[in-house]
Amino acid sequence: MPVLIYIDHSEGKIKKGSLEALAYGAALARQTQIEAHGFLAGSFPEELALLGKYGITKVYHAKPDEAISDAALVKAIEQVVSSSNADTLVFSFNQTAKTLAPLLAARLRAGLVTGAVALPETAAGFVVKKAIYSGKAFAKIRINSAVKIVCINQNIFDITETTGNAEVTDIPLTATDNHIQVVEKKKNTEEVSLTDAEIVVAGGMGLKGPENWHLITDLANALDAAAACSRPVSDNGWRPHHEHVGQTGTQIAPNLYLAVGISGAIQHIGGVNRSKIIAAINKDADSPIFKVADYGMTGDLFEIVPQLTEAIKKA
């Protein structure tokens, strides 16, 4: 009864969250002495057998590209689960998981836990620790169903590599009766994607107006980072809504999150508190952002940010 890991990819690269899901699935397989398998849909430039280096012994490759739809993927994964007897499905908790995991849970009568932050305890049943209340508390959920689905939070599990090749099995996708049809895919921006970025620089109302936004983008460019903003910044129309991070915006988990002129309201922190390191620049030493920041600079961002950008460019 193998673990099956959904491998999400974009522009020829496996997404960071899926690499973490692979590490999680492989570790779970080792813990319970079973095999870990992967499921990948669509064209991928690398030889799929090489994905064995992430600890999986088999890759199910669903194609062709033209037939990819949520309904077709659900059907194909269902078939793989049934033919391989996989009893645990692992996803990175991203947009794909938010669509596919509940559909699969309903089809497979599977218990589903999202936001997992630790390997399940398997000594007595299957108990998953998950983050609740925007990461302020944890809950332990026991999944009693035969098939279990776990969506893991990003930036919790280290990516691991080993040696070995995976066996590749092609899975034909068939266009099914889709309730939803993708009409067009449009990229919001050519810039680094917020959810995949290793570093995110975000600006808040402390920037005073859109005319000063170059301070954020210059710093982001110097750090090869994605730029983001607090919600009032996008509500005011200074920046587009897809850049707003927080409870009601994009939830991010970069290695470094740098908040510039952001007060650190609880709704903002709820979307960024899974960052490995939080740093802040704020002129108010009592600002709540400093309660969650690992590093902080108290001072005027209009003085600090240009100097910081120049120093990083020179480094």
Residues of the shown chain interacting with ligand FAD in the complex, contacts defined by CB under 6 A:
204-206, 230-233, 244, 246-249, 261-263, 265, 267-268, 271, 281-284, 287, 300-302
| 263 labelled binding-site residue | yes
Q: Which C-beta is closer to ligand FAD: that of 149 or that of 304?
A: 304
| 265 labelled binding-site residue | yes
Taking CB atoms, the residue at the shortest distance from ligand FAD is 246
* Least Å from the CB of residue 308 to ligand FAD: 12
* Least Å from the CB of residue 264 to ligand FAD: 7
| 307 labelled binding-site residue | no
**φ and ψ at 101, to 5 degrees?**
-60, -45
Q: Which C-beta is closer to ligand FAD: that of 261 or that of 296?
A: 261
| 282 labelled binding-site residue | yes
| 231 labelled binding-site residue | yes
| 52 labelled binding-site residue | no
| 264 labelled binding-site residue | yes
* Least Å from the CB of residue 157 to ligand FAD: 25
* Least Å from the CB of residue 233 to ligand FAD: 6
CA distances from 17 to 146, 181, 257 (A): 25, 26, 17
* Least Å from the CB of residue 251 to ligand FAD: 9
* Least Å from the CB of residue 268 to ligand FAD: 3
Q: Which C-beta is closer to ligand FAD: that of 57 or that of 298?
A: 298
| 268 labelled binding-site residue | yes
Residue 302 and residue 212 in contact, taking contact as beta carbons nearer than 8 Å: yes
| 154 labelled binding-site residue | no
- Strand-pair category, 137-142 with 127-132: antiparallel
Strand partners, 141: 128
Residue 253 and residue 226 in contact, taking contact as beta carbons nearer than 8 Å: no
Q: Which C-beta is closer to ligand FAD: that of 105 or that of 229?
A: 229
Q: Which C-beta is closer to ligand FAD: that of 86 or that of 228?
A: 228
Q: Which C-beta is closer to ligand FAD: that of 29 or that of 194?
A: 194
**237 closest CA partner among 201, 268, 209, 215:** 209
* Least Å from the CB of residue 91 to ligand FAD: 23
Give how far the C-alpha of residue 126 lies from the chain's centroid of Cα atoms, to the nearest Å: 23
Q: Which amino acid is at 99?
A: T
Which helix (H) or strand (E) covers residue 149, if one does? strand 148-152
Q: Is the dihedral of CA 296, 298, 301, 306 positive or negative?
A: negative
**154 closest CA partner among 107, 215, 196, 122:** 196
Which tokens go with 253? 């988990």
Q: Which C-beta is closer to ligand FAD: that of 24 or that of 290?
A: 290
Distance, in Å, from the CA atom of 289 to the CA atom of 282, rounded to the nearest integer, reads 8
Residue 40: is it exposed, middle or buried by C-beta count within 10 angstroms (0-12/13-18/19+)? buried
Residue 119 and residue 31 in contact, taking contact as beta carbons nearer than 8 Å: yes
Annotated binding site for FAD: 230-231, 261-268, 282
Give the residue numbers of the binding site.
230-231, 261-268, 282
